[in-house]
């Protein structure tokens, strides 16, 4: 069960011998898994492969690393302050308190949140932030795969406290500087704005053009509750979805977060579009912001996100996945989302919605982002494989976590950071946020 080799040293090729893994076809299989460099090279018959570095995996369950498609890591500071609150109150608090968060405090909160995510088996994060430089630095320090959604604004139409804003030229320069400084094999930076209330049509079109040209996603919160929709209609005479449609921005280069208050007309507009979405079920329930129509929009790439700890006190992706399974179709089983689609939303489809290829599956040619659980804690034949997948990540922490072919957690210990030290420091400072 424990791995005794020196981690990440000269291990060009690793063989996971006799591993029970969750396959791309939503079942558990027994195989030898060969990892070469940062990718899964081969999946072969059990006990058929050998290499210089062999891990006896018969006591392990191997799952693809999880994807949390939407996270505000610095807002971990406010977790557990309330059990529920309106979206207007939440936004007002965020915008009002941003200037009170020092760079040191944001960095600490972000690092804690990212390490806490890795501890759950989350290897890929969609990080939504207006201070991209700080969060990118913490993602790099932790060794996680991350897409930084660099949120910048040039207006504010809302009633809540005003977020920071910049000119179009300043937005593009800061984005370009961040891309140049922080992009790597593991970290990508995508253009974003806070919502339909925070960007002029000119900024939306420019950010979308950048995303299209760079094969990335233009990211924004959209239709997050009745008050946000009403404020958008008050200014534009139409909903955020309809504004984007008029601007010709509803395509595969756009990633929309929430979309939890959609009208019949919005759904009609989206019916023939191919857009990417991130669903945040606990957050939407917390703020009373409505419910994303998962089943109606299943033809799109849909990921799941925990959002921010201030609107998700438990802040566990596994809980959001299980909650999503029962959040939908409570009075109509035809609106239920299949459990395999839920699993895909926190693995391969969630990664694809973020614009990441070759991430989220235990499959030849995919990046070796994996989490390993104790085989003794799991009876593979006991239930539906996808339900078992959710049960495992709900009930247990992985004992090893691998990102890009390298262990970041080995034998339950972090290799890049002292999680206990970071956690203690964070919890001492969290009292300030309360």
CATH (domain of 33): 2.30.40.10
Question: pTM, whole model, 2 decimals?
Answer: 0.95
Q: Do 90 and 152 have their domain in common?
A: yes
Q: Do 340 and 374 have their domain in common?
A: no
Give me the sign of the Cα torsion angle 344, 347, 348, 351. Answer: positive
Q: Do 32 and 170 have their domain in common?
A: no
CA distance 249 to 234: 21
- pLDDT tens over the chain, length 434 residues: 567 545 555 567 899 999 999 999 999 999 999 999 999 999 999 988 777 789 999 999 999 999 999 999 988 888 877 888 887 787 777 666 666 678 899 999 999 999 999 999 999 999 999 999 999 999 999 999 999 999 999 999 988 777 789 999 999 999 999 999 999 999 999 999 999 999 999 999 999 999 999 999 999 999 999 999 999 999 999 999 999 999 999 999 999 999 999 999 999 999 999 999 999 999 999 999 999 999 999 999 999 999 998 899 889 999 999 999 999 988 999 999 999 999 999 999 999 999 999 999 999 999 999 999 999 878 887 789 999 999 999 999 999 999 999 999 999 999 999 999 999 999 988 764 44
CA distance 244 to 251: 10
Instruction: Provide the token pair at 93.
Output: 């608090």
Structural contact between residues 366 and 356, judged by C-beta atoms closer than 8 angstroms: no
Question: What is the CATH number for 125?
Answer: 3.20.20.140
Residue bearing tokens 């499959």: 363
Structural contact between residues 67 and 395, judged by C-beta atoms closer than 8 angstroms: no
What pLDDT score does 9 carry?
52
How distant, in Å, are the alpha carbons of 45, 155, 373 from that of 19?
10, 53, 11
Q: Is residue 190 part of a domain?
A: yes
* Domain encompassing residue 408: 13-64+359-414
Q: Is residue 98 part of a domain?
A: yes
Q: Name residues whose C-beta falls within 8 Å of residue 1's C-beta, 6 or more positions apart in sequence.
A: 59, 60, 374, 375, 376, 399
HSE-up of residue 25 (Cα within 13 Å, Cβ side):
3
Residue bearing tokens 């109509």: 332
CA distance 136 to 190: 12
Give the chain's domain count: 2
Taking alpha carbons only, the member of 420, 402, 403 closest to residue 411 is 402
Q: Do 302 and 376 have their domain in common?
A: no
What pLDDT score does 244 carry?
98
Q: Do 344 and 406 have their domain in common?
A: no
Q: Do 146 and 33 have their domain in common?
A: no
Q: Helix, strand, or coil here: 267?
A: helix
Taking alpha carbons only, the member of 217, 134, 216, 145 closest to residue 187 is 145
Q: Do 271 and 401 have their domain in common?
A: no
How distant, in Å, are the alpha carbons of 38, 42, 43, 196 from that of 49?
18, 10, 9, 53
Q: Do 347 and 367 have their domain in common?
A: no
Q: Do 264 and 152 have their domain in common?
A: yes
Q: Is residue 428 part of a domain?
A: no
Q: Is residue 202 part of a domain?
A: yes
Q: Helix, strand, or coil here: 424?
A: helix
Q: Do 233 and 173 have their domain in common?
A: yes
Q: Is residue 107 part of a domain?
A: yes
Q: Is residue 4 part of a domain?
A: no
Which one of 308, 335, 353 terminates a domain?
353
Q: Do 341 and 226 have their domain in common?
A: yes
CA distance 168 to 119: 39
CA distance 296 to 62: 32
Q: What are phi and psi of 18, to 5 degrees?
A: 60, 50
Q: Name residues whose C-beta falls within 8 Å of residue 393's C-beta, 6 or more positions apart in sequence.
A: 63, 66, 120, 121, 317, 318, 321
Q: Do 56 and 70 have their domain in common?
A: no
Which one of 353, 381, 398 terminates a domain?
353
Q: Name residues whose C-beta falls within 8 Å of residue 59's C-beta, 6 or more positions apart in sequence.
A: 1, 374, 375, 376
Helix locations, 161-280, DSSP H = 168-182, 201-213, 226-236, 240-246, 264-270
Q: Is residue 159 part of a domain?
A: yes
Q: Is residue 102 part of a domain?
A: yes
How distant, in Å, are the alpha carbons of 22, 33, 46, 63 from that of 29?
7, 11, 10, 11
What pLDDT score does 433 carry?
44
């Amino acid at each position: 069960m424990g791995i005794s080799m020196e981690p990440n040293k000269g291990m060009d090729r690793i063989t996971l011998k006799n591993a029970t893994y969750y396959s791309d076809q939503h079942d558990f299989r027994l195989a030898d898994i060969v990892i070469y460099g940062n990718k899964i090279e081969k999946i072969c018959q059990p006990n058929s492969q050998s290499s210089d570095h062999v891990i006896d995996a018969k006591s392990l369950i191997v799952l693809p690393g999880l994807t949390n498609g939407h996270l505000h890591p610095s807002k971990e500071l406010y977790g557990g302050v309330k059990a529920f609150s309106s979206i207007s109150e939440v936004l007002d608090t965020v915008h009002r308190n941003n200037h009170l968060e020092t760079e040191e405090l944001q960095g600490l909160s972000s690092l804690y949140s990212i390490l806490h995510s890795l501890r759950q088996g989350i290897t890929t994060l969609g990080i939504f932030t207006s201070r991209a430089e700080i969060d990118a630095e913490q993602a790099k320090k932790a060794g996680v795969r991350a897409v930084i959604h660099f949120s910048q604004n040039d207006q504010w139409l809302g009633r809540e406290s005003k977020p920071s804003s910049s000119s179009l030229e300043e937005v593009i320069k800061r984005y370009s500087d961040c891309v140049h400084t922080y992009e790597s094999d593991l970290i990508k930076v995508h253009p974003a704005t806070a919502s339909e209330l925070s960007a002029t049509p000119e900024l939306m079109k420019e950010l979308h053009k950048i995303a299209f040209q760079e094969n990335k996603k233009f990211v924004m919160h959209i239709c997050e509750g009745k008050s946000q929709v009403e404020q958008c209609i008050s200014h534009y005479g139409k909903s955020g979805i309809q504004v984007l449609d008029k601007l010709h921005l509803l395509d595969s280069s756009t990633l929309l977060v929430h979309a939890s208050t959609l009208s019949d007309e919005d759904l009609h507009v989206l019916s023939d579009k191919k857009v990417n979405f991130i669903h945040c079920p606990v957050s939407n329930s917390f703020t009373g912001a409505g419910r994303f129509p998962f089943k109606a929009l299943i033809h799109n790439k849909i990921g799941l996100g925990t959002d921010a700890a201030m609107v998700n006190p438990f802040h566990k992706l596994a809980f959001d996945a299980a909650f999503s399974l029962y959040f939908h179709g409570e009075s109509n089983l035809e609106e239920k989302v299949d459990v395999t689609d839920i699993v895909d939303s926190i693995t391969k489809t969630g990664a694809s919605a973020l614009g990441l290829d070759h991430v989220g599956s235990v499959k030849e040619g995919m990046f070796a982002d994996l989490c390993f659980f104790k085989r003794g804690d799991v009876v593979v034949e006991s239930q539906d494989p996808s339900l078992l997948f959710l049960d495992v990540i709900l009930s247990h922490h992985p004992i090893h976590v691998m990102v890009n072919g390298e262990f970041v957690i080995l034998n339950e210990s972090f290799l890049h950071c002292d999680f206990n030290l970071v956690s203690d420091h964070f919890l001492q400072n969290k009292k300030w946020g309360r």
